Structure 1
């Protein structure tokens, strides 16, 4: 299967409200349409995770990110531009996303991916994609396809073929909270 066919199939599944497993700019992720509350609920159920714990979303560009954040402070753009590794930013004032994805305080964790597969997937999908680590809550994140638990492989609607052969270390993103007033807090280095 070509990368293009793989992306096309993943997009098709997400447009129908399905859940996918896919390689990201960090670890393998469980993904779905971040604007579809039913799909987001499926991700929480698959991960066996309390839905009060927010999930990360991926987008392909700052232009797309701006459609889902109201009043992002200038410092957020500077942090993302200067980051030397994948960096997730928690923004205040999320808009146009599934209500069960947004934290109780109205915040959302988003990352602009630069990795070719996930960037193209986000671009083709034209909306944010949930990107939570491919593991049952409390277990180690799947750095590579071979690390994904069989239970997860059977629980999703589609497993991407791209990058399945990789056997190299991957780590989760840094997480930084940037408040609307520009206040910065490092959550995970």
Structure 2
């Protein structure tokens, strides 16, 4: 196996063991842990110094996996099938396997399927949803190479999946298609708004 294959295996094993890992996406490096494990989720909040009232998104390898851990309606599923994989975070009803710690007690959760094969293969091998948040201390810049990782954070994660520099680009658009709301405009925001306007029968509210 290649070094990258070995790194993917090591990161996936660390997630299954309840540890946090650093992994690449199509934009920046992320901080991941088993999103079904409340203790692992708490570790991500602690490592980032993130406010517990701010929910985390989850990353999965495809829409089928998203439907295992979330409860999208048929309309929301059609939206996901149109825009995922891609730089869009889709907010839908969470499933029972996701803990309150992940969603800050809310009934809905953001779902990501990154358009980046290394990330998707990592998710597949982990075999469970993985937290999707940037691998930096809250308030610090996001990182595109492992060399930029905070040394203190590096020491406390179970693995760093090093795939070199990430492609970078615009942050994901965050959208709740069932409520016809765009929470954050980012990549593909115009396409998302056009689809919702046509399919929902009204332009989305942009917060």
TM-score, normalising length from structure 2? 0.80
State whether residues 67 and 96 of structure 1, in contact with CA within 8 Å, keep that contact through their aligned partners in structure 2: no
Residue-by-residue CA offset, 1:1-30 (whole Å, 9 max, x unaligned):
522211111111111111100101321000
Q: Identify which of 166, 169, 185 aligns with 2:181.
A: 185
Q: Which residue in the other structure is 2:28 paired with? A: 27
Q: Which residue in the other structure is 2:19 paired with? A: 18
> How many positions carry a matched residue from both structures?
183
Q: How much does 1:167 deviate?
A: 6.5
Residues 59-70 of structure 1: pairs in structure 2 closer than 5 A: 59-70=60-71
Residue-by-residue CA offset, 1:138-182 (whole Å, 9 max, x unaligned):
222213333322222222121112x22x2653332111123xxx2
Q: Secondary structure at the match of 1:96?
A: coil
Question: 1:47 and 1:105 mapped to 2: Cα distance?
Answer: 20
Pair 123,168 (structure 1): closer, same or farther in 2 beyond 3 Å: closer
TM-score, normalising length from structure 1? 0.87
Pair 170,152 (structure 1): closer, same or farther in 2 beyond 3 Å: farther
- CA-based RMSD of the aligned residues comes to 1.9
Which protein has the bigger helix share?
A: 2
Residues 1-189 of structure 1: pairs in structure 2 closer than 5 A: 2-70=3-71, 72-83=72-83, 85-161=86-162, 163-164=163-164, 166=165, 168-178=167-177, 182-189=178-185
Structure 2: stretches of 5+ with no match in the other structure: 186-207
State whether residues 30 and 132 of structure 1, in contact with CA within 8 Å, keep that contact through their aligned partners in structure 2: yes
Q: Which residue in the other structure is 2:204 paired with? A: none
Q: Larger Rg: 1 or 2?
A: 2
Q: How much does 1:129 deviate?
A: 0.6
| Larger RCO of the pair (alpha carbons < 8 Å, separation 6+) | 1
Task: Return 78-87 or 147-156, whichever deviates more.
Answer: 78-87
State whether residues 52 and 104 of structure 2, in contact with CA within 8 Å, keep that contact through their aligned partners in structure 1: no
Structure 1: stretches of 5+ with no match in the other structure: none
Q: Secondary structure at the match of 1:170?
A: coil
State whether residues 102 and 108 of structure 1, in contact with CA within 8 Å, keep that contact through their aligned partners in structure 2: yes
